[in-house]
Amino acid sequence: MNTGGFLTDPMLLQVHAASIAVGLDRRVLLSGIDPTVTAGLSNAGSVSDQILSDLRALNTLTLSDGSVPLTSWLSTAKHLSALRLQQAVFAEAMRELEKAIAAQQKPQATAPSPRPDPTPNQNKSAPQEDSAPNIENANLPTKPETPEKPTADVVIITAIKSEYDQAKQVDTGALDAWTVMPITGFDVAFRTYKSTNGQPLRIALCHSIQMGVAAASEMGGRLVDALEASCIAMSGVCAGRRGEVSPGDVIIANLVYTYDAGSLRVEYDEAGNKTERFQAEMNPVPLPDQWAQKALQFQVNSPASWIAERPATLASHCDWALSVLADDVNPLKHADFGQHKAAWPQIIDRLRELKWVTPKGLKLTDEGREHLEELLLRFGGTLPTPDPWKIHVAPMATGSNVMRDRQLFPRLSSAMRKVLGVEMEAAAIGRVAQARKIAWIVMKGVMDHADLDKDDFLKDFAARASAECLIQFLRENLTPRRIAPPPDPKGTLQIIGARSLQPHR
């Protein structure tokens, strides 16, 4: 039976049953449809009734530009049901819808002769519109098609699992929950976010099994190819240049390159003294101009409550302890000790390592007193306060080792003057994108300064901050696969060939 819509009622009920079986979210299903249309959809009691009501309404709609909103609904459902048996139902419905649209648009000279009923003696009963379909036996095709492979708009790689875990905490703009499925041997997490143009943006997230360029290149390339992504990205942590960036800040790479790849030339003089000359092959990959400009203009949307969660650095904890000891007060009995209690073991270890307190007990040494006096002199008689959280746009250098070298950034700046970040994978992301001619973006949070004053206090926050910024940037600047129909040229949306819609309650 067909009550004037594109799809028959039996097909519509199959689509509805498959949607409920998969657990599709109504917000996601409607995200690619013009809000003027979705605002006119009637409210229903239950989730099941609501989706069926939406389907019946969309099944009759044709917009003034000739587009059919049901096409977007089915495309999204098919995309979200990847690797599920029910995807075959959505694929079949899309084919039937395409045929119906083509038949509607093609003028017919003569009406076709009706086909004889091959079973005239059988009693046929049309499905009851008010009866709930059987979800467990959802009229799936007798020989279901092989589910189509999943796709994603962007693949995000992290170097380690803790960075992956922090990225999964980003909820702003999310339309569904994370789901994990195996892709080319890797467990990949998928989630859909709403882009700023209203379209669903499908993100695939995966963490590498080991750090470094080789692992990131191999995983990134395989996932981009398998998921047909149009962008590859990376979030995580890096070391930042002391004096230019603060722990917790985010660096957007406008250029990635390797600083320790190249050739080493060894020469000996007549006395046998060795001289080594290293010639770097940086192979820089610049961020495309359009996104480089967007990066410079990028600002985090308010409210961003996660920024207030930035923890204090170990250095600031130590400064507090020194100031209390200088007043001849036991830090354990100080009123503010609760703010530093979690870091207390590391505070003692660092103060003793720097010889600012005695090896036993906790007495201020002459070196510790001199450091504190210099600190107070530089900051006008008070302890330094953290700089406001910032985003920086600058080159990012990739190396093959975790560095603790206070001369690292001065040495790197001789070849790349404005470099602000150092890490171990970013160059791989640029090269994977360059080879495939797709978009790329790398954002990393500063966790330390790659020198001896190194700690993990900001590691989780830096990873979270980079992921928050990265996903917001992608939502604002990466065009998803499914594009909404253009607005009506007259400035108002016109709907033709449709049943009346009840106002949204």
Q: Are 349 and 433 part of one and the same domain?
A: no
* Separation CA 376–CA 381 (nearest Å): 4
Q: What's the pLDDT score for residue 453? A: 67
Residues 222, 166: one domain?
Answer: yes
Q: Are residues 397 and 303 in the same domain?
A: yes
Query: Cβ(155)–Cβ(220) under 8 Å?
Result: yes
- Reduced to 3 states (helix: H, G, I; strand: E, B; else coil), residue 226 is helix
Considering the domain architecture, whether residues 260 and 158 belong to the same structural domain is answered as: yes
110 domain residue, yes or no: no
Final residue of a structural domain among 378, 408, 430: 378
**In the prediction, which pLDDT does 367 show?**
94
Query: How many angstroms separate the CA atoms of 448 and 454, rounded?
Result: 6
Q: Which segments within 230-300 are labelled E, that is strand?
A: 231-234, 237-240, 250-258, 262-268, 274-280, 285-286
Q: Which pLDDT score is estimated for 254? A: 95
Q: Does residue 125 lie in a domain region?
A: no
d(CA 190, CA 150): 10
Q: Which residues contact 298 (CB under 8 A, 6 or more apart)?
A: 252, 391, 469, 473, 476
**Domain's final residue, options 341, 360, 378:** 378
Same domain, 145 and 34: yes
In a domain, 7, yes or no: yes
Q: Out of 378, 397, 423, pick the residue that ends a domain.
A: 378
Residue 128 domain-assigned? no
CATH for 204: 3.40.50.1580
Task: Judge whether 115 lies within some domain.
Answer: no
3-class secondary-structure state, position 250? strand
Query: Can you give the residue range of the structural domain that contains 40?
Result: 1-104+136-150+484-505
Report the number of distinct structural domains present in the chain: 3
Supply angle C-alpha 244, 246, 250, rounded to 5: 95
Q: Is the same domain home to 345 and 435?
A: no
Q: List Cα–Cα distances, 236 to 70, 146, 208, 249, 254, in angstroms.
A: 39, 36, 12, 12, 16
Cross-strand bridge partners of residue 192: 202
Question: In DSSP terms, which residues pair with 237 in a beta bridge?
Answer: 445
**What are the residue ranges in the chain where pLDDT is below 50?**
1-3, 110-111, 113, 115-143, 483-505
Residues 15 and 89 in one domain: yes
Residue at 114 is within a domain: no
Backbone angles phi, psi at 133, to 5 degrees: -70, 160
Spatial separation of the C-alpha atoms in residues 194 and 207, rounded to whole Å: 23
**Do 359 and 409 fall into the same domain?**
no
Same domain membership, residue 257 and residue 406: yes
pLDDT at 147: 55
Strands 262-268 and 200-207: unpaired
Structure tokens given for 380? 């006008």
Residue 383 lies inside a defined structural domain of this protein: no
pLDDT, residue 103, reads 82
Based on the fold, state whether residues 305 and 318 are members of the same structural domain. Answer: no
- Examine residue 129 and state whether it is found in any structural domain, yes or no: no
Residues 140 and 166 in one domain: no
7 in the same domain as 83 = yes
